[in-house]
Amino acid sequence: MSSSLTQFANAAGLDLGVMDSGGAFSTQQYLDILAKANRILDNWSADQIQIPWAIKSSVAVTANTRLYSVGPGGANWALGSLYAPVKFVAAAHNVGGTGQITPVKIVSPVEWESIADRDVSANLIKYLFYQRGSIGTFQASAAISPAPLQNGTLELVWWDRFTQFADVSTPVTFPPGYERAFQLELALSIAPMFDETPSADLQAEYGKAMNALRKLNADLWGVDSLAPEQAAVKATE
């Protein structure tokens, strides 16, 4: 289902009790709420347990080539998204495109710097380091070690960002079950604009909505489904 920011804001205002049915906020208030809404989506994009999709892509690796640009705009690994991935969570090397698959370890910056002779070439890629820093419009970079001796592919599993609101009227589509959680978090976020304290019922409903999403995603990512803030809500029920 798709909804505009105006629709979400009005529903959040009703949840918070600062708007009557059929009412509307001012133009400036909608713009302020737009900023808050996109910050919520930005935070969700960085939280693995919030992400409802694990995207799998195959990208080309070139013989004796270690560095690749990642993202849109003509990147070596374009991945079909408007943005570079938030994070790679798994990788495997298809050696020479033959179907011989070997796992590749995704390493941190500290681990990458500790790899001896990481500039060498060999049959198998062992390590992947993903640098999220921009090297162009929405692009990032990746380095592999060793560089492969022949052309092949990497099979990557990654997560994308949530689509943000371009304005207050253009609809955004959420995955199933996400609209209510977003609406409730938006209500909590805008409460200070109206000097309102969210009710215990509203906070509890938000906690339940978020827990439902996190439990759904826990099987996907193999992580704990209950974040500390939701655990606190649950403990008060």
Per domain, the residue ranges of the chain are 2-49+162-235, 55-159
Cα dist from 216 to 5, 45, 58, 88, 229, whole Å? 25, 16, 26, 20, 17
State phi, psi for 129 to the nearest 5 degrees.
-115, 125
State phi, psi for 26 to the nearest 5 degrees.
-75, 165
At 221 the pLDDT is 87
Residues in the chain predicted with pLDDT less than 50, given as ranges, are 135-136, 228, 230-237
At 99 the pLDDT is 76
Note whether 7 and 34 are within 8 A (CB). Answer: no
Note whether 174 and 165 are within 8 A (CB). Answer: no
Alpha helices in 5-120 (DSSP H): 5-16, 27-45, 109-114
**H-helix or E-strand spanning residue 147:** strand 147-148
Note whether 52 and 216 are within 8 A (CB). Answer: yes
Task: In whole angstroms, give the CA distance from residue 53 to residue 83.
Answer: 15
Cα dist from 201 to 18, 84, 107, 123, 228, whole Å? 16, 38, 43, 59, 19
At 233 the pLDDT is 43
Token pair of 93, please? Answer: 């090397």
pLDDT (tens digit, 9 = 90+) per residue, 150-194?
A: 999 999 999 999 999 999 999 999 998 899 999 999 999 999 999
Cα dist from 8 to 18, 55, 114, 181, 204, whole Å? 14, 27, 48, 11, 19
Which residue, among 89, 68, 79, 102, has the nearest Cα to 157 in the 3D structure?
Answer: 89
Q: What is the DSSP letter of 117?
A: T
At 133 the pLDDT is 66
Topology adopted by domain 2-49+162-235: Hypothetical protein yqbg (1.10.3230)
At 190 the pLDDT is 97
pTM of the predicted model, to two decimals?
0.84
At 104 the pLDDT is 98
Task: In whole angstroms, give the CA distance from residue 139 to residue 236.
Answer: 44
Note whether 89 and 158 are within 8 A (CB). Answer: yes
